[in-house]
């Protein structure tokens, strides 16, 4: 039976499990079809890319960016193949 979860889904789940070490306040916050969560006091868009030749692709459409920009304290987490290689940026840095 094939696995119904993609590598990106698995990475995002690992990231959320890791986040539980810092706060128990984690809830899905639907922004279109994105993986956006309220983690503690932050709203975090989680983007995950599995490793392929050390190149990562993170597609984010402009509608998602507009929605994230309207949230309080927004961040974007870019998971690069494993949660050990995660870059978390304040969304305002990306917007600039």
Please give the pLDDT value at position 75: 94
Looking at every residue in the chain, the average pLDDT score rounds to 84
Count of domains observed in the chain: 1
Query: Would you say residue 40 lies in a domain?
Result: yes
Query: Would you say residue 2 lies in a domain?
Result: no
Burial class (CB in 10 A: 0-12, 13-18, 19+), 19: buried
Query: Would you say residue 37 lies in a domain?
Result: yes
Query: Would you say residue 1 lies in a domain?
Result: no
The yes-or-no verdict on residue 41 having pLDDT over 60 is: yes
Which domain range does residue 11 map to?
A: 7-95
Query: Would you say residue 25 lies in a domain?
Result: yes
Query: Would you say residue 13 lies in a domain?
Result: yes
Q: Read off the pLDDT band of 53 (50, 70, 90).
A: low
Q: How many residues does the chain have?
A: 96
CA distance 95 to 60: 12
Query: Would you say residue 12 lies in a domain?
Result: yes
């Amino acid at each position: 039976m094939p696995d119904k979860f993609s590598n990106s889904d698995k990475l995002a789940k690992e990231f959320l499990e890791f986040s539980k070490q810092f706060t128990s306040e984690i809830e899905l916050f639907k922004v279109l079809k994105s993986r956006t969560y309220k983690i503690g006091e932050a709203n975090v868009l989680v983007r995950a890319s599995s490793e392929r030749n050390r190149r990562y692709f993170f597609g984010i459409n402009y509608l998602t960016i507009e929605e994230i920009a309207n949230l309080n304290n927004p961040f974007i987490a870019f998971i690069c193949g494993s949660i050990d290689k995660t870059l978390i940026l304040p969304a305002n840095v990306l917007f600039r």
